[in-house]
Amino acid sequence: MPTAALDLKDAILQLKKERNAVILAHNYQTGDIQDLADYVGDSLGLAYRAQEADADVIAFCGVHFMAETAKIVNPTKTVVLPDKDAGCSLEESCPGPELEAFLKEHAEKNYYVIAYINCSAHVKALSDVICTSGNAVRIVEKAPADRPILFVPDANLGAWVMEQTGRKMDLWQGSCYVHVEFTRDSINAIKKDHPDALVVAHPECTQAVRLLADEVCSTEKMIAFCQNAPVKDIIVVTESGMLHRLRKEAPDKNLIAGPTDRCACADCRFMKMNTLEKLHDCLEKLEPEVTLPEEMRQAAEKPLLRMLEQSR
């Protein structure tokens, strides 16, 4: 490893100590960031870790809505995000003012609004409860039976939850630009070369792809699925960062990600905006800092706490 990279890692660890910081990283971050983090996980695990954090600073290596969630559930901490532009296409697909107008227009429906955590604080504040891919089935099962559900913003995750629970929901038509790029044909082509392989896919994939999968689950659940799978070959249908952790934690498995080592798909350009250099700089300068108006934070905290309680 070049000395410069080693120096940078040492400098980050030194700053982490000086700032009394904790580094949280999502499973889609680059391997070098994951290896430096105190905790690596999915959106649900990260929300719990952020809530429990007793460090002064949370350096959140993920995308903006995840860092914002950390600030909402642990408001006295300084939350920094290496790149302030690390957004999410799902968040973009459901602007708060649009949802607000929709709910006003359909006020007679008295919707129970379930928001996938991949959304802004404004959307969370308009919701009754939040869910992640790891607990969506459970959260929908606990929804009041006498109210119609509006599920925002991911139509694919929503459709998968409907299939799992049998509960009808109205779906906001948002999507993850990474996961909708996977096609049946590309996965079938990989399967041709690996006929015994099992397929694990994220629920943000389209139904056509999910139907090919042996398991559909959150990024965290993919770890146990791969570790316990009775076969060696597993086709992993999600963002490429997942492979780093899977290869570390399921080393005896052949994790197949397509011919380009990118799951036959592109990286999430938002997740990949964070780098070791930017992590170093945000710990040094304590910016970009994630902040939000207190009134909005409190309104967004309620449905998040409901989710955390319902998932324990």
- What does the binding site for ligand 13P look like in residue numbers (CB under 6 A)? 27, 42-43, 118, 132-134, 176, 202, 204, 218-219
Q: Does 155 bind ligand SF4 (CB under 6 A)?
A: no
Interface with ligand SF4 (CB under 6 A), residue total: 13
Least separation, in Å, of the C-beta of 155 and ligand 13P?
14
Interatomic CA distance for residues 46 and 24, integer angstroms: 7
Q: Does 217 bind ligand SF4 (CB under 6 A)?
A: no
Q: Does 70 bind ligand SF4 (CB under 6 A)?
A: no
Q: Does 63 bind ligand SF4 (CB under 6 A)?
A: yes
**The dihedral formed by the CA atoms of 153, 40, 76 and 14, expressed in degrees to the nearest 10:** -140
Least separation, in Å, of the C-beta of 218 and ligand 13P?
3
Residue placing its CB nearer to ligand SF4 in the complex, 23 or 268: 268
Least separation, in Å, of the C-beta of 11 and ligand 13P?
28
Residue placing its CB nearer to ligand SF4 in the complex, 128 or 204: 204
Q: Indicate which single residue of 47, 178, 243, 307 sits in contact with ligand SF4 (rule: CB under 6 A).
A: 178
Least separation, in Å, of the C-beta of 312 and ligand 13P?
17
Residue placing its CB nearer to ligand SF4 in the complex, 100 or 267: 267
Interatomic CA distance for residues 126 and 37, integer angstroms: 32
Q: Does 220 bind ligand SF4 (CB under 6 A)?
A: no
Q: Indicate which single residue of 72, 126, 268, 304 sits in contact with ligand SF4 (rule: CB under 6 A).
A: 268
Segment 131-150, which members bind ligand SF4 (CB under 6 A)? none
Residue placing its CB nearer to ligand SF4 in the complex, 30 or 118: 118
Return the one option of ligand SF4, ligand 13P, none that residue 89 interacts with (CB less than 5 to 8 A, by type): ligand SF4
> Which structure tokens are listed for 275?
């780098």
- Chain positions contacting ligand SF4, by CB under 6 A: 63, 88-90, 118, 176-178, 204, 239, 268, 270-271
